[in-house]
Amino acid sequence: MALKENDLNWFRPLWRRVAVVVFLAIWLGWEVLYTGEQLWMVLVGAALAYSLYNFFYAFPKEEPKNDEIPPAGAADEQDRSDS
């Protein structure tokens, strides 16, 4: 993936990635339907394909943070009253 760590943190919320993709899709539709400029169609289409791949297929999954809840210890097993 070509995104740096700072970019990954900024694009972590799903709505930002969706907003970029929707913007590029609307722009591509504008170029195809109204202007007909082939150079811009290719450029925006390539940007759309690149962003779809990077934002949804190859985007690293967020690691679950298990540091917040410590694992159950022996003292927890002794304190249980339901056994």
Q: How many domains does the chain have?
A: 1
**31 domain residue, yes or no:** yes
Note down the domain range covering 18.
10-58
Closest CA to 24 of 41, 4, 8: 41
What are the tens digits of pLDDT across the range 12-39? 888 998 999 999 999 999 999 999 899 9
User: Does residue 37 belong to any structural domain of this protein?
Assistant: yes
**CA distance linking residue 61 with residue 56, whole number of Å:** 10
Put simply, whether the predicted model's pTM sits higher than 0.75 gets the answer: no
pLDDT of residue 44: 96
Distance from C-alpha of 24 to C-alpha of 47, rounded to nearest angstrom: 7
| The pLDDT value given to residue 55 | 86
pLDDT in tens, 28-83: 999 999 998 999 999 999 999 999 998 888 777 776 566 666 566 665 556 666 65
Residue 75 falls inside a structural domain = no
Does residue 82 form part of some domain?
no
